Each structure stands twice: as structure tokens, then as C-alpha cells.
Structure 1
């Protein structure tokens, strides 16, 4: 018996280059009737003539990058366009322009995420493959009379700030400080929602999903959103409205004069570029015309950790080339540093330094920061841990230990895999032990959330921590099941309405497996070392760590009673209606 010849396809690749035009044959809403002809006017505008003799001016089609990425119909790799706009080249171009122009200079502020610093720390302090960078780091330690026994991430942060200062940065801050504010707001939001759910008041209820991961938010808006009036379960109303630390830092830095600040954020995730491009995270320019709003983003540019690492390597290469020809003193004198500012901008910079508690970086490329710290909980910021502990005390008077997973009132279960955990709070140790015994007697698997198993006693709180897209369905499906059951019960009991009992009260969701320490923009390095470096930092309570955090909080809230500087909103993205699926331009 003979078989057919095997056909081999060479160089098969699933990458689709970004198109200059939208490739989706979407349906267009025609409001002016069928167009018969298009006429070009003397001023260059286009006028459409309809079959019934009417005419109207055609407006230029404007599709922003945010529109493109938020569209549920795009199948191209549009993210590559975003990466080109938020790139190292864009950053270098700004540095050149800002240094060369005599008027119109802007303050360059850089915010560093602690997860990025942990990844950079592994490469700088543990990886010998980057010889020039490691040598420069050790030379910097010696010049500043520091010891390798000191906190490594503290030194890495100061070193990175020094290099950025040489390149032209006026101010470098740590987003751990703005994460204090995000955590405090998240606690307040959860307590308010919990009370509203218990009383049956308000349009929003539990569960509450953490909304700081832009990949997760974009997925929720596109995939698990419904149109008004639908009875289906939608995630969008359950997303936390608290801004991410990146965006709070943007509002903080640009609160006085957004025109004069150029804000660059260094993040462990490429999706943070998408977050920065959202219209919700921008302010209308004071010079905008009435008919055209010019939006100023709170974050002008986002660099991933690996992009900043490339910048550091190039800076060290230039430093090594100079060191081969001239003395160290001359090199230090030749470090350009940030460009000079006029009196007004210098005053604004001084105010920001005073507000953030940052001391101006000294000429020897060292910097004096508040010592680095982290918050209790996961490497993604500890949102579930902080809210869990505060809610246990504020709502039930139970004071948990610093690591709630080890508290005797708490039962921790692994659902599906290690990236999906359930945390249950019980009123007493006896209740916790009885719950554990009940699970053993019930014929249920570890895949079933505790509340869904209907085991007793009932927990006071049920939280979940989910990392990676594979666990999103594992979280969403039980919620959809509970929502459907609630709708059926309402139809059975007529007008009787009760709040649905979902499996979880709060869910910390991150799109990357392992959370933010393993973000897509991180360096390809030993994750164990990165995790170890991060968790070596002392764990502190939010708003009780950095002396100036409360001042930052007050500065954002004092002029903003509606909390727009601290909160945001989300939108459901309807599916794109395709005229003819066969017309897809592959």
C-alpha cells in the first residue's frame, strides 16, 4: 500500500506583520444615505454627494493606537506598532531634543518599578555574562564607598538612577511609593463594595477583580463584556477602579503642569505601554481648541525592563571607551547630566523633589533614596494580602499575622495549579479545622472553589490569586455559573431579588504566569534569583513606610474630591460586525 507524498511547508510562521490599514471588513454605519460621488473642494476637503441630491463633508478617518489595540476584531500584531512608539529610539530622540533646544525644555522624570529593579539586579549582581555592566557597577560601588553587603536592590536602584541622571533625567522615583496609595485606595474600595453587597444597595457588588494588569483588563473588556440590558455575566462592572501605581505616579508628577513634564515609566510588562495609551489616563491640554481635544498622557513613554537594560549596556560601553583614553576625573566632568532648566521649571522640579522625598542626584552619579521595601503578599504588589488582612480586621475584628497564609484563621487551597490559590477566612480556628475536615469528606476535587462545594462552615471571606491566562477561565467559569444560577432563582421567585453568592469576594489577577516578577518585559534570567532579591526587601504596611507617602496622597486628593486622580473607568468593547468573513485580507 502506498501513501501520498508528504507536502512540506518551509519557513512557516504565525507572525502577521502589522498592516497600515485595518484588515477587518467591518460594517460601517451609514447615516447620510448611499453615496453617489465624492467631490474635492478647492480647500482640499472632500464632499460626498448622495443619490437623493444631498451633500455632506467627509471627515478624515482618525484611528488612534488605543482604538486599534482595543478593537476586538484585529488579528494583526498591532502591539508591534505600540512598541515602536514606546521604544528606546523614542526615548533617545527625546533626550537629544531636550538637550539641544534652548527654549521649551521639559523636566524628564523616570519612575522605576521594583519588579524591574529585581530583574536588573539579577543581571547586574549575579550574571557574569554582562562583564562591562558588572564592572561599571562594582566601580560605582567603590567610588561611592559602599559595601556589597548592603541591600543589593538599594544599590542597583541608585546605580540605575545615576546612569539615567547622566543621560538626562532630572528626577527618578520608585513606584513602590505610589503602590502604597494604590493599595490604600483598593482597601477602601473593597470595604465599600462589601458593605454595599451586604446591604443590597448600589449598582456594583462583589466579586472585585484587581485592575492593575492591563493585559487582563483588555481581555476582560473585549471577551467578558456584555451590552447594556443583557442578563449575561460581565467582568467589567467588577473591575477595581483604582489606578495602577504607574498611572498614579503619572498623575502625581503631572498634577501641577502636565506640559512641562516628560514622564518615562520602566515596567516589567509590555502591556503597560497599552495602559499608558488609554484615553482615561490623559488630561486635556489647556491649549486645545473647542473642536479638537489634545490629550496629554500621564505617562509619555513606557520602557520594558529589557529595553532599559539595553540602554544601560550601551551607556557602559560608551563609558568603557572613554575610560580607555582619559582619566576617571575627566570622565566624571564630562558626564553631561540633565540639561539646565529655566527658573520656573527649576522651581517646579524642586517642589516635586520635596513632595516625593527624593534628594537631588549628586554629581558623582549616586543618589539618596528612601530604602527600598515591599508590601506583604505576592511579587505583583500584594493586593490580595493587604486587602485580606485589612478586611479581616475592619469587618470582623480579626487581626491576622503579617503573612495571612500562615494565620490559624486562614485556609489556603491550591486550585488547578500553583498559580491559582484560594484563601478562606474563618471566624475561629475550630471553624477552619472543621472546614478542612468537611472538604475531606465531600467527594470534591481541588478544582472546586470552597463556596461552590457548599461545604460548612461558611467562610467570612473568600479570596483568590490567579496568575496566567490559563487560569482566567478557571476563575471566570465558576462566576458565570453562579450568575446563571442566580438568574434562574430570580425567575423562579418572581420579583424576589437577592444578591448572588459568588465563589470569591476578591480576585488578584495577573496575565503573566508567576505574576509581575515574571512579566513579559523582564530579562530572561533566573526567576528564582529575581524572586529572592525581591523578597529580601523588608515587608511594610501601606502608608506606614515612606514618610512622604501621606503627603503624596494628600496632594492627589486635596484638589480632587471625586478621586479622579486615583480612580479610572472601563468600557465594554463590542464585537466587530464583519460584512463578509470571506473578505478578510490575510
Structure 2
């Protein structure tokens, strides 16, 4: 322990404690901008500078440690003046047209500048002229980048995708794509973690809200919306609503106020996915001599993009089942169109997803209906649907709950937990157990695959065999697992991979809380909802059973293969042969 004095407050802290952490323990706030604990502690922005007695130079608080007897002044004139100059210099190279920025009101630079009482910039503006593609799902606004390096760190250290890097030298130093000229030509998985870790609006998703509004206002279009499981754990956050109040039924009410015709639940097609993917797995383990293991889940398009780009030798081991988003689109433009007795081209299918990769997925040439139109016309992130609701001047807290529409408004608890890491595996095992034993297990029998650990393993007895499964979340952990598989250090039968840390609840399209990882807060909401539901098994979903009885006949039938499965080689990642 060392003794230090911070702004006149004497405290004891463990040696090697940073000045920033020591100040926090003393109840003293030091502003930061580029800092992210255990990820980006490089002092790039120099907003956290403090004065230490006995030294002429200022110290960055985020990456300098305390020493015995150190006397620190966090807000002396010298520190305060330097801090303001640093912020003004950053603003001189930043597009400060905040009124039309998606991060206005939720921007760390904006808050720091306001807190420091910065109201003018005495330096000449120098904005880069580079422009990212406005058509790609991930957009980089070069004139908003503050060179904090957070996107590089999360992409390298957490996601192992290595898309961003420092380029140029001297005053021309900036952050840009590495290994490709344009972002759309890179091997980006579109996980969106660079967006949620960016403190400003330099990275954002392509906004498709206007496309949805155009469809709603088109009298020839029937707008059908599906809501992903993880959305119900997060959509109320920007409105200051508790999860208990911000239910999926209240979101349905908001969407109907916007003007959509039908509001359905992606939990329905999550259950449908389990029936197809679970049956596919059982068929494979029944004929191990003809198959390679492990079989990997395929519901996360970020993961699919990553494995195609980095480990193409494993692509054939992906489940051929489409993601719940795409299964829904396929069903909406076939079975549902027939029920409505309308041409499928009249249906405009919208998904609300926690994800940018979903925007890319619905545009793949392998995801078209019989008429050559996209099965899912448009995918909105959670942030976009929040902006859509605000743009329509809807006061969410005044809305009553409204039931989702039928026949796709029913989802099981198993479908609900798809949004958390381990949820797909648990849902699949619940139904696989039933399909083998013709009786339900305890719904929580497979809960050992839950939790935020990056790589989890478990063994279960199924069909007289010991089933070895693994669950990973975050592409960095997926990279480790795939490396171990290649080296023969581990062997599994079934593996679930989610691209985002914590699963979809921590998705790149979810509401941003700077410096806070929200997945551990959101996942328990989904499990709590699962536990309180009467329907906890995918195979007991009455709407799923009805669609098999009336349309698909059985999982893996010819029609099910045609509509609910895909060829992962039917589209290419940049650079893929």
C-alpha cells in the first residue's frame, strides 16, 4: 500500500494503482476521452492530465501509477488549462456539426467539452476529406475521428479481426482500414463493436429508417416487422425505461403507431431454427462416418463472415440452417403471403436486430425469394428503431402494451434466450433431448452453458453418447477455439459461436453506454423472461407445429430445405476464391 494525497484528500491504495483509479477511490472525478479500462490505456487524448508536485510536466492519469507520498492536483490551473487546450485541438480536427450527428447527446467528446466550459475553438479547422461508402452497413466518418485508437484496440484485442490500424505519419496520422483500400473490400465481420466502443460518431451504421418509412407510406406495401430476442432487453434504455416496462408488447404498440401492418416475434423463427438445426445435428451424429465435427451454429452472420474470411476450411461444418432473421423472411414471403392471398412482392419485411451484419445478410444473393426479391427487405438496429420512434414523436412511456400479431407472434423461452451467449446451444439441447427421448428434460438441465465466460465447455449424455459441446462469444475467443481445433488440442460435437461479446445482447447495433459493457446486465433479463414463460421448449411452440403440419410437413423436408436452409458458398467475402 502507498500513501498519496489527491486534491487534499489523503488515501492509501495498492502500489501500481493508476492515478485515475486512485482518484476514483478518493471520490475525485478526472475526465477521460480515449480511455477504456484494460483495453485502451495509452493516454492518446491527454484529457486526463494532472499536476504532480515536484514535476514540471503533467501526468496522464490513465496510464501513470501512484508512488509513495505523491501529491496530486487534478484540477489545478496548469492541469485545467492544458486539458482545455487539448480538447480544443481535438475539436479543431473534428466535425462539430453536432445537431445532425447520431451520437449527439450521447457523445463523450461533447460531454467533455461542455464540462470543461469550452465554447469556442481558436484554431484553424483542419478536417480530412476522405469519405467512407454510404452503402456499406458500417460507415466511417473520417472528419469525426479523434484518433483515440479505441476501434483498433477492440478490433484487435477482443475481436481479432484486425480491420483498423494507424496510417500515415506526423500531422497526417489517422485511423483507417488496414489490408484494403476501402472498408467494403476488407474482411470486416460487421460485428459493429468498433461503433459501440467509439466515443464519438466517427463510426455508425447505415441508416435505413427512411426506407422503412417509405414502405409504410406506400399503399401497395404490407409492412411486416419482426423483433429479435435481444431487442427486448435493450430497446427501452435510450428512453430511460426499465426492462420490466419496456416490454416487447410495448414496442409492438410503438411500431403500430409508426404505421406498420404486422408485428411479429423473431422468437418464432428462433424456435423454427432449433427444429431445423437440432434435427440436422441429430442426423449428423447418427451418421458420424459421413460428417465432420464439430457442427457450428450459423445464426450469427458476423460469425459466418468471420469464418469465411479467416478459416474457410470450417465453412462446410456450419449448419446449413438460415438464421432466424432469414427464416422469418422466407416464411413471410411464402406461407404468410399465401395466407393473406397476396403476391409476395407486396410484402415489405423489416427486421429489428442488434446487429450490423444482419444488414449485409439480408442483401446476400442466396437470400432471395422465388421472385428474386430479398426475403428480408430491410434490417434496422436497435438504435435505428429508437430513432424511428423519436422521429414519429411517440411518447413510449404513455403507450399501453399490445399483443403481437398471429400466427408468428408466439415464441418460446428457448427462442427468447437466443439473444444471450449459450442460449442457442441450450435451446437446441432442450429440443434435441426431446427428439431423442420423446420426453422433455428439465428446462434448466443445460444451464451450464450460460454465463459471460468467453469459452465454455460441457458434456451431456444424449442418444447413448457423450455429447461434447462448446460455446464462445467474441470473435477473439472464436479464433482461439478454431486454432485449437486445427491443432487437434480440443474435440467437440457441437459448437455455438456468437460474434459479439456476451452474444446479441452485446451486439454492435445495441444502445451505446460509453465505457460500460451492457451484455452482463441484459442477458439475465432474457433468462428471467424464459423462466417465467409457460412455453419453454421450441418443439412445443404451437405456431411452429402448425407450420410444419400445414406447410413444411417435417424438419429437413424438401420444402424446409428449400426455404429454411442455405448454401454458405453462394456468396463471397472480399478476397474469397
TM-score where L is the length of structure 2: 0.56
| Residue of 315, 330, 345 corresponding to 1:236 | 315
In structure 1, what is the equivalent of residue 443 of structure 2? 402
User: Given the alignment of the two structures, is residue 513 of structure 1 paired with residue 501 of structure 2, yes or no?
Assistant: yes
> 1 CA distance for matches of 2:348 and 2:298?
25
> 1 CA distance for matches of 2:307 and 2:134?
27
Secondary structure of the 1:534 match is helix
In structure 2, what is the equivalent of residue 277 of structure 1? 363
In structure 2, do the counterparts of structure 1 residues 109 and 476 end up closer, same or farther at CA, with 3 Å as the change threshold? same
User: Do 2:430 and 2:446's aligned partners in 1 also have CA atoms closer than 8 Å?
Assistant: no
| Residue of 340, 354, 358 corresponding to 1:268 | 354
> 2 CA distance for matches of 1:386 and 1:504?
18
> 2 CA distance for matches of 1:378 and 1:543?
11
Displacement after TM superposition at 1:378 (Å) = 6.1
> 1 CA distance for matches of 2:285 and 2:370?
34
| Residue of 209, 218, 222 corresponding to 2:296 | 209
> 2 CA distance for matches of 1:77 and 1:178?
22
Deviations 1:298-348 (A, max 9, x none): 00010000110111223236899xx9xxxx9xxx9xxxxxxxxxxxxxxxx
Q: What number of residue pairs does the alignment pair up?
A: 381
In structure 2, what is the equivalent of residue 470 of structure 1? 476
Displacement after TM superposition at 1:353 (Å) = 5.9
Gaps of 5+ in 2: 1-85, 95-126, 137-181, 196-202, 338-342
In structure 1, what is the equivalent of residue 17 of structure 2? none
Gaps of 5+ in 1: 1-7, 23-67, 100-104, 128-150, 226-233, 286-294, 333-351, 359-369, 428-457, 486-501, 579-586
User: Do 2:275 and 2:538's aligned partners in 1 also have CA atoms closer than 8 Å?
Assistant: yes
> 2 CA distance for matches of 1:159 and 1:76?
29
Displacement after TM superposition at 1:371 (Å) = 8.2
TM-score where L is the length of structure 1: 0.56
In structure 2, what is the equivalent of residue 250 of structure 1? 329
| Residue of 215, 234, 245 corresponding to 1:119 | 234
In structure 1, what is the equivalent of residue 457 of structure 2? 422
Displacement after TM superposition at 1:462 (Å) = 0.9
In structure 2, what is the equivalent of residue 537 of structure 1? 529
> 2 CA distance for matches of 1:311 and 1:577?
36
Once the two structures are superposed, the pairs formed by residues 436-585 of structure 1 within 5 Å of their partners are 460-482=466-488, 503-525=491-513, 526-539=518-531, 540-558=535-553, 560-561=558-559, 563-571=561-569, 573=572, 576=575
| Residue of 419, 424, 436 corresponding to 1:383 | 424
In structure 1, what is the equivalent of residue 309 of structure 2? 222
Secondary structure of the 2:393 match is helix
User: Do 1:111 and 1:174's aligned partners in 2 also have CA atoms closer than 8 Å?
Assistant: yes
> 2 CA distance for matches of 1:403 and 1:184?
19
Once the two structures are superposed, the pairs formed by residues 65-214 of structure 1 within 5 Å of their partners are 87-96=208-217, 98-99=218-219, 105-124=220-239, 126=241, 152=244, 156-197=247-288, 200-201=289-290, 204-214=291-301
Deviations 1:85-130 (A, max 9, x none): 661122223334x15xxxxx11111111121122014445646xxx
- Which one has a bigger Cα radius of gyration? 1
> 2 CA distance for matches of 1:116 and 1:261?
23
Displacement after TM superposition at 1:464 (Å) = 0.5
Secondary structure of the 1:282 match is coil
User: Do 1:243 and 1:567's aligned partners in 2 also have CA atoms closer than 8 Å?
Assistant: yes
Q: Which has the higher contact order (CA 8 A, sep 6+)?
A: 1
In structure 2, do the counterparts of structure 1 residues 18 and 180 end up closer, same or farther at CA, with 3 Å as the change threshold? same
> 2 CA distance for matches of 1:426 and 1:15?
60
Displacement after TM superposition at 1:212 (Å) = 0.7
